[in-house]
Amino acid sequence: MGWNEPDKGKEPWKGKNQPPDLDEALKRIHDKMKKILFGGNGKSNNEPSKKSTNGLVATLIILIAFLLWSLSGIFIVDPAEQAVILRFGKYVETVGPGPHWIPRIISSKIIMNADRVLDYSYSAQMLTRDENLVAVSLAVQYRIGDLKEYLFNVANPEESLQQATSSALRQVVGTTTLDQMITEGREIWGSKVQDTLIKTLSLYKTGIVIVNVAPQPARAPESVQDAFDDAIKAQEDEKRFKEQAYAYVAKVVPIAEGKASRIQQEAEAYSKKVVLNAQGEVAEFLALLPQYDNAPQIMAERMYLETMQRILNKSSKIIVDSKSSNLLYLPLDKLFTKSSGFSLETAKNSKIGNDEFNEAESAVDEREFTRPVYRQGRE
């Protein structure tokens, strides 16, 4: 019977301005649900059976439980997360960000942040290639790349990362010298450790992605730290001295090369000068040779006079008459430099003896006589 159908001429909610009977309303709802669920004819007894009431309650409980079960299977994966779906404990799939649903009880989920970068530090003492003990440490940054591999391929991903890091570091340190570890080779061996670690983790499919490997400064063990500090200081001093030596070489070598070039040029010029002078003298003697063959005595005297002329031309000259009773000094160089010049007439008027003057006059005449011949021979 509907709500708006009359009941013996009366509406169910209208009764002499009295509030509706709650028991009667529940009874009507029960009858309606029974008709729908169990196919009843809609006729109800005044006293429903206990069995029918229990069935309705069970049905409601089942509906509510089913609704709660369905709602409990809904979950949302954040943008930075991944979720692994398990059914009866077995891997089914990996889902990304967004809303998802799984059947509870038979299925479960594991959600983890796949974009968060995690830090891991490792330090140990190891032997280098030259058999020196060195303390090394590094920081590893990683994240989850494949959640399925991260959860199911290895029992403990963090422990696997630690073992792989130790293996990669020992492999690299064992092939590197102590000097490279402590000084300029830190970035190089850090990059080698990162490459080796990535290959190892990929080989074992751990699902871990290495973001960065930051090597820390390597140091010697505390027992020998002072000796290592002295060694490093000595290396720095050696480097500084080499730089100073290179700077000195760069400064001195150009100067020395310039001096050597100048000396070489001067030597070449002197060599050319000497050769040319020698060639001139040879040419001069060759020109005089025919004249010498014709008149050997005259040429000998002539060469003697010219030689004496060259010698006396560069020194002061004084004529002294040793036979005369009067001591007379004639500075010839000063007499020749006078503006009037020195002439034979002046010498005749002086107090020089006639014999000495005649000898000088004959020498001058002979010199003047032979000079054109000499010049002609040179030409």
Domain co-membership, 124 together with 188: yes
Of 317, 319, 311, 303, nearest in space to 367 by CA: 303
pLDDT for the residue 336 = 60
pLDDT for the residue 268 = 94
Q: What is the CATH number of the domain that holds 201?
A: 3.30.479.30
Query: How far is residue 265 from each of residues 257, 261, 269, 273, 292, measured CA to CA in Å?
Result: 12, 6, 6, 12, 40
pLDDT for the residue 13 = 46
Q: Classify residue 205 as exposed, middle or buried by CB count within 10 Å of its CB (0-12, 13-18, 19+).
A: middle
Task: Answer with the one of 113, 140, 170 that is the final residue of a domain.
Answer: 113
pLDDT for the residue 126 = 87
Domain co-membership, 128 together with 205: yes
Partners of residue 136 on adjacent β-strands? 124
Distance CA 303, CA 300 (A): 5
What do you get for the CA distance between the two ends of the chain, in Å? 164
Which structural domain range is residue 44 located in? 22-72
Domain co-membership, 60 together with 80: no
Domain co-membership, 144 together with 207: yes
Residues of the chain falling short of pLDDT 70: 1-23, 25-26, 30, 32-55, 184-185, 317, 319-379
pLDDT, one tens digit per residue, over 160-170 is 999 999 999 99
Of 168, 144, 167, 170, nearest in space to 157 by CA: 144
Backbone conformation region of residue 120, classed left if phi is above 0, alpha if psi is from -120 to 50, else beta: beta
Domain co-membership, 86 together with 128: no
pLDDT, one tens digit per residue, over 216-257 is 888 877 777 787 778 778 888 999 999 999 999 999 999 999
Of 213, 161, 159, nearest in space to 187 by CA: 213
Place of tokens 């140990």: 124
Domain co-membership, 131 together with 211: yes
pLDDT for the residue 329 = 56
Q: Is 285 part of a structural domain of the chain?
A: no
Domain co-membership, 82 together with 32: no
Domain count for the chain: 4
Query: How far is residue 107 from each of residues 50, 73, 112, 170, measured CA to CA in Å?
Result: 38, 9, 17, 44
Q: Is 170 part of a structural domain of the chain?
A: yes
